[in-house]
């Protein structure tokens, strides 16, 4: 088994949605920080708990403003919000090219309880938080195995109709006859709260990341 924790991030926040037809209002609660670059706070907190046996990478788009660090990958895709499906495709292809068998794809505003997460690697090809219908939520992270990654890497993208990467990836997997395993241990702070068995929690500003890291509980 070769495991990758893949954080989908960006060089700078760009939420221009002119490339899509949907009228989308992004959730921008006052408690969220939409300006601070997020990888440093991840490196300061839960990133340090990832063992050397697990590959961990931040995945950005292009253009690249500098040379990547050892834990970074710059992908040949646009770096804006509307093109996240292309970034997810490229992440899956990178994982396959590097013989990854199990990938946890997670957003950059998410805190991960690394020990619990790695002790709970699913046997199902696709697993994560319920997001309505048969969709899996992208924010708090989802697992895909090599077969599911292959489907995502090869799936077509039409961002005018499927700009949300989690719904796009879910649709691609459902079309390929994959069915999700839902796990409520992945938490969205807008809709739930942290529990003793929580694996990952999204919608975290940097202060929340530090708070969770200082008070984290082992499984």
pLDDT tens string 37-50: 899 999 999 999 99
Cα 97 to Cα 93: distance, rounded to the nearest angstrom: 6
Distance CA 80, CA 103 (A): 22
**What CATH number has the domain bearing residue 130?**
3.90.550.50
Q: Which residue has the tokens 């890497």?
A: 153
Q: For 141, left (φ over 0), alpha (ψ -120 to 50), or beta?
A: left
Half-sphere exposure of 151 (CA within 13 A, CB side): 18
- Confirm whether 149 is domain-assigned: yes
- Bridge partners of 72, per DSSP, are 58
Summary mean pLDDT of the chain: 90
| 71 occurs within a structural domain | yes
Q: Which domain does 80 fall in, by range? A: 3-214
157-205 residue pLDDT tens = 987 778 889 999 999 999 999 999 999 999 999 888 999 999 999 999 8
> How far apart (Å, rounded) are the C-alpha atoms in residues 210 and 135?
30
- Looking at residue 219, its pLDDT comes to 47
Task: For residues 151 and 174, give the distance between their C-alpha atoms in angstroms, rounded to a whole number.
Answer: 10
Q: Report the percentage of the chain scoring pLDDT > 70.
A: 89
Residue 171: other Cβ atoms inside 10 A: 18
The residue with greater pLDDT, 24 or 125, is: 125
45 occurs within a structural domain: yes
pLDDT computed for residue 33 by the predictor: 63
Nearest Cα to Cα of residue 158 among 61, 23, 62, 19: 19
Whether residue 219 lies inside any domain: the answer is: no
- 20 occurs within a structural domain: yes
Q: Is residue 70 part of a domain?
A: yes
* Percent with pLDDT over 90 in the chain: 74
**Residue 191 in domain:** yes
This prediction has a pTM of 0.92
What is the total count of domains within the chain? Answer: 1
7 inside domain? yes
């Amino acid at each position: 088994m070769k495991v990758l924790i893949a954080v989908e991030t960006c060089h700078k926040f760009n939420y221009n949605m002119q490339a899509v037809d949907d009228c989308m209002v992004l959730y921008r609660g006052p408690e969220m920080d939409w300006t601070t670059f997020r990888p440093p706070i991840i490196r300061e907190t839960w990133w340090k708990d990832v063992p050397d046996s697990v590959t961990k990478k931040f995945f950005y788009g292009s253009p690249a403003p500098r040379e990547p660090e050892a834990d970074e990958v710059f992908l040949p895709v646009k770096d804006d919000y509307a093109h996240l499906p292309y970034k997810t495709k490229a992440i899956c292809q990178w994982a396959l090219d590097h013989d990854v068998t199990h990938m946890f794809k997670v957003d950059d505003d998410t805190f991960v309880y690394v020990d619990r997460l790695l002790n709970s690697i699913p046997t199902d090809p696709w697993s994560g938080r319920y997001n309505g219908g048969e969709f899996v939520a992208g924010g708090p992270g989802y697992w895909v195995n090599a077969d599911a990654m292959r489907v995502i890497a090869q799936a077509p993208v039409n961002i005018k109709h499927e700009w949300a990467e989690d719904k796009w990836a879910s649709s691609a997997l459902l079309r390929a006859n994959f069915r999700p395993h839902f796990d409520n241990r992945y938490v969205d702070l807008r809709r739930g709260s942290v529990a003793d068995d929580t694996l990952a929690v999204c919608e975290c500003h940097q202060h929340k990341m530090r708070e969770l890291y200082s008070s984290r509980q082992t499984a």
